[in-house]
């Protein structure tokens, strides 16, 4: 069976390194990338911004961002989450199971396909981690604003292998 790290490589994902520069610097000194309690790891909020702050499709879904663009941003955000997982537990292979994905979509009040946007993120987790580990409980919430006008933000929790070293 192929490992999650190998599947990510086979998919050609460009997973960012959140250790260099350290996570959170440009958004405030009180931020930390993750919090771990036993085997439960909660990642900080993740958006479709690269490490230098360039955003993918900022704006409001259903107004100036299309469903397709929002899905692309959600998939990129999930890829960024994989980088945060590596920071927290060293390897994607150290994930026992995803537990919760809280997905925020900056959307027009008439936009009701929030689940379609979020699907792009959670489908990537299944592609990389497999159906047993990558399936996740999820909520998709439409909001009127997100930091820096990002169209998508993800808050992810997962169970880590007991042997995984915290970053």
At 124, which CATH number? 3.30.1330.40
Domain-embedded: residue 167: no
Dist CA 86 CA 63 (whole Å): 35
Question: Rounded CA gap, 148 and 27, in Å?
Answer: 10
Q: Is residue 165 part of a domain?
A: no
Task: For the chain, list residues with pLDDT below 70.
Answer: 24-29, 165-167
Sign of CA pseudo-dihedral 115, 120, 121, 126: positive
pLDDT of residue 24: 67
Q: Is position 98 within any domain?
A: yes
Does some domain include residue 118?
A: yes
**Residue 51 pLDDT:** 86
Rounded to two decimals, the pTM is: 0.95
Domain that holds residue 124: 4-160
pLDDT of residue 98: 98
Q: How many independent structural domains does the chain possess?
A: 1
For residue 75, give the nearest of 8, 25, 26 by alpha carbon. Answer: 8
pLDDT at 1: 78
State how far Cα 122 lies from the chain centre.
9
* CA gap 78, 155 in Å, rounded: 10
| In-domain check, residue 67 | yes
Residue 154 lies in a domain: yes
Residue 135 lies in a domain: yes
């Amino acid at each position: 069976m192929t490992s999650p790290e190998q599947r990510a490589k086979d998919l050609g994902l460009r997973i960012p390194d959140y250790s260099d520069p350290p996570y959170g610097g440009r958004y405030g000194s009180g931020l930390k990338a993750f919090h771990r309690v036993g085997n439960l790891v909660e990642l900080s909020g993740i958006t479709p911004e690269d490490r230098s702050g360039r955003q993918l499709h900022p704006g409001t879904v259903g107004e100036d961002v299309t469903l397709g663009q929002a899905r692309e941003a959600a998939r990129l955000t999930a890829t960024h989450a994989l980088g945060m997982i590596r920071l927290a537990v060293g390897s994607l292979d150290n994930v026992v199971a995803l537990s919760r994905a809280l997905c925020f979509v900056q959307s027009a009040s008439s936009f009701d396909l929030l689940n379609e946007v979020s699907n792009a993120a959670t489908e990537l987790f299944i592609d990389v981690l497999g159906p047993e580990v990558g399936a996740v409980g999820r909520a998709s919430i439409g909001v009127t604003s997100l930091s820096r006008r990002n169209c998508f933000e993800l808050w992810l929790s997962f169970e880590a292998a007991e042997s995984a070293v915290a970053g």
